């Protein structure tokens, strides 16, 4: 009989250089110089950190910048909508006549020179006299203070001019106060409370109408506007565009602060 075959003896298993992976599985590694190892993916490719993709910190930074950009874009869009809407309302109100029977026609002041109204104020006064002649109100209220060195106030100059136009002096109430639109309308509201009347047609330039009406109502008057259709303010398209932009900014400022943006220059109402 032949001797049984013997299996050759195997030497000790060489080290596999494997590190245990998460979940109990093992991921192969490569031996690097100086005894370091580089972990490899289960498919034999490089691990996530070696694939050239963005790191977690980079992704977080990009996400933060994205939200900041969206916030800035949203804020800008809201600002454009508010600005555009206000500009449209200024233009729209300028085109509307609120003529109706009221307790008084209120003429907002503008510049005067030694008792003579400026062209802007004269156009407002003529329009107020026409409303009075139509029988829309039993009285006209002139309003506006004076600057240093002036002999007459804007209200006094307006009263003198209305009398020359044929309006009875007894039908004119002179409120010689106010250096801007808000101050003038507050003075008129106080006079209305003393005299016992409430409603008014506010006469001013077309582009000034929305801001004047807003301030009048905030001051306690039941107010509508009857804008002038003549005078320097409505002569050219360039002038109209300038006044529309100016009034849009002034109205936004008032709505934010409830203060007048004017600096005592009542020549523009």
Domain total of the chain: 1
Is residue 252 included in any domain, yes or no?
yes
Q: CATH no. for residue 202?
A: 3.40.50.620
Is residue 29 included in any domain, yes or no?
no
Region 191-205: mean pLDDT is 96
What is the CA 162 to chain-centroid distance, rounded? 38
Region 190-201: mean pLDDT is 96
Handedness of CA 15, 19, 23, 25 (dihedral sign): negative
Q: 238 lies in which domain range?
A: 93-261
**pTM of the entire predicted model:** 0.70
Rounded distance between C-alpha atoms, residue 167 and residue 154, angstroms? 17
Rounded distance between C-alpha atoms, residue 190 and residue 213, angstroms? 16
Give the count of beta carbons closer than 10 Å to the beta carbon of residue 47: 13
Is residue 159 included in any domain, yes or no?
yes
Give the strand pairing for 199-203 and 104-107: parallel
Report pLDDT for 71.
80
> CA of 67: how far to CAs of 61, 70, 74, 79, 262, in Å?
10, 5, 10, 18, 38
Structure-model confidence comparison of residues 59 and 4, the more confident one: 59
Packing angle, helices 209-218 and 237-257, rounded to 10: 20
Rounded distance between C-alpha atoms, residue 61 and residue 203, angstroms? 57
Give the strand pairing for 172-175 and 104-107: unpaired
Is residue 75 included in any domain, yes or no?
no
Is residue 9 included in any domain, yes or no?
no
Beta bridge partners of residue 30, listed in sequence order:
38
Is residue 248 included in any domain, yes or no?
yes
Nearest Cα neighbor of 250 from 209, 203, 220, 202 is 209
Is residue 87 included in any domain, yes or no?
no
Structure-model confidence comparison of residues 235 and 49, the more confident one: 235
Contacts of 96 (CB under 8 A, 6+ apart): 209, 225
The encoded tokens of residue 266 equal: 């009542």
Region 150-168: mean pLDDT is 96
* pLDDT digits 0-9 by tens, 4-38: 555 555 555 555 555 454 444 444 444 444 444 54
Is residue 199 included in any domain, yes or no?
yes
């Amino acid at each position: 009989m032949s001797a049984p075959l013997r299996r050759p003896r195997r030497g000790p298993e060489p080290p596999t250089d494997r590190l245990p992976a998460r979940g109990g599985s093992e991921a192969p590694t490569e031996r690097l110089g100086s005894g370091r190892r580089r972990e490899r993916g289960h498919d034999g490719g490089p691990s996530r950190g070696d694939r050239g993709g963005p790191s977690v910190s980079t992704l977080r930074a990009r996400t933060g910048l994205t939200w900041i950009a969206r916030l800035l874009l949203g804020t800008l869009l809201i600002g454009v909508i508010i600005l555009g809407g206000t500009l449209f309302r200024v233009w729209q109100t300028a085109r509307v006549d609120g003529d109706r029977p009221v307790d008084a026609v209120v003429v907002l002041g503008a510049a005067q020179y030694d008792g003579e109204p400026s062209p802007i104020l004269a156009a407002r006064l003529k329009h107020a006299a026409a409303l009075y002649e139509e029988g829309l109100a039993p009285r006209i209220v002139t309003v506006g203070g004076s600057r240093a060195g002036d002999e007459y106030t804007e209200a006094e100059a307006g009263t003198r001019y209305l009398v020359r136009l044929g309006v009875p002096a007894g039908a004119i109430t002179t409120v010689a106060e106010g250096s801007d639109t808000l101050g003038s309308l507050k003075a008129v509201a106080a006079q209305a409370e003393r005299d016992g009347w409430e409603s008014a047609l506010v006469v001013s330039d077309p582009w000034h109408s929305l801001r004047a009406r807003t301030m009048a109502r905030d001051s306690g008057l039941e107010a509508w506007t009857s804008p002038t259709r003549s005078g320097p303010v409505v002569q050219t398209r360039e002038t109209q565009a300038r006044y529309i932009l100016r009034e849009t900014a002034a109205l936004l400022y008032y709505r934010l602060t409830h203060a007048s943006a004017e600096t005592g220059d009542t020549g523009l109402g």
